[in-house]
């Protein structure tokens, strides 16, 4: 079975990361969701990554705030894609987490998305795009979702737009 693994550094990340899970649910993509800290439970983190890979995890999504080392630690334990979701909080309200997640040493990549809820949603979409490389059904669902979003923009615009006809000016 292939699935996406979502790892949060603490329970305080759960409210935001539920948005990630909701997107995966919408597309019918299986996932696991756990709490494991790079600092407070490093042995649990290491064991979980190994076990998740054995069970079929194809992409890891890691959410953490402040020092935000979780995604980097997971990246050090696997060659599977790792997506980091920086979380708000702390002295710098998420900027520290963003910089910690995005500034990885060469050869140890972590794809980094936006801080907070938008990042959680985008992490789900990015993980699904990775899976869709060899999954035609998922790719079709993602393409339909994009088309739906484009149609919504047009519908929203039609409710408010004012267009000047250049031939009449």
CATH code of the domain covering residue 130 = 3.40.50.1970
Residue 79: per-residue pLDDT? 98
CA 45 to chain centre: 18
The answer to whether the beta carbons of residues 37 and 70 sit under 8 Å apart is: yes
Q: Calculate Rg over the CA atoms of the chain.
A: 19
**Structural domain includes residue 146:** no
Phi, psi of 63, rounded to the nearest 5 degrees = -115, 130
The answer on pLDDT for 1 being more than 90 is no
Mention every residue, 6+ apart, whose C-beta is less than 8 A from residue 98: 68, 86, 112, 115
pTM flag (> 0.85) = yes
- When divided into structural domains, the chain yields a total of 1
| Mean per-residue pLDDT, 80-98 | 93
If pLDDT is split at 50, 70 and 90, which confidence band does 169 have? Answer: low
Has residue 123 got a pLDDT over 80?
Answer: yes
Q: Tokens 């990775």 identify what position?
A: 130
Q: Which helix (H) or strand (E) holds 59?
A: strand 57-65
Average pLDDT over residues 68-89: 96
Q: What is the span of the domain harbouring residue 76?
A: 3-135
29 class by beta-carbon count within 10 Å (0-12 exposed, 13-18 middle, 19+ buried): buried
- 13 annotated ligand binder: yes
The reply to whether 147 falls in a domain is no
Each residue's pLDDT tens digit, 17-50: 999 999 999 999 999 999 999 999 999 999 999 9
Residue 54: CB partners within 8 Å, gap ≥ 6? none
User: Is residue 32 included in any domain, yes or no?
Assistant: yes
| Residues listed for the chain | 169
CA separation, residue 7 to residues 50, 61, 82, 91, 136 (Å): 13, 6, 11, 23, 27
- Strand pairing category for 31-35 and 57-65: unpaired
At residue 89, does pLDDT exceed 90?
no
Instruction: Say if residue 44 carries a ligand binding annotation.
Output: no
Q: How confident is the model at residue 163 (pLDDT cuts 50, 70, 90)?
A: confident
Residue 162 lies in a domain: no
93 appears as a binding residue in the annotation? no
Are 63 and 85 spatial neighbours (Cβ–Cβ below 8 Å)? yes
């Amino acid at each position: 079975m292939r699935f996406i693994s979502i790892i949060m550094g603490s329970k305080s990340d759960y409210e935001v990361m539920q948005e990630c899970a909701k997107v995966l649910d919408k597309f019918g993509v299986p996932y696991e969701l756990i709490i494991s800290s790079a600092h407070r439970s490093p042995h649990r983190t290491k064991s979980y990554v190994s076990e998740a890979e054995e069970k079929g995890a194809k992409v890891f999504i890691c959410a953490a705030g402040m020092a935000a080392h979780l995604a980097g630690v997971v990246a050090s334990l696997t060659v599977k894609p790792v997506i980091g979701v920086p979380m708000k909080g702390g002295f710098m309200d998420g900027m520290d987490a963003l910089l910690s997640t995005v500034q990885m040493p060469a050869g140890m990549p972590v794809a980094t998305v936006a801080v907070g809820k938008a990042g959680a949603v985008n992490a789900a979409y990015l993980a699904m795009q990775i899976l869709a490389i060899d999954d035609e059904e998922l790719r079709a669902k993602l393409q339909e979702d994009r088309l739906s979003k484009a149609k919504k923009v047009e519908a929203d615009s039609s409710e408010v737009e004012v267009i000047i006809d250049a031939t009449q000016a």
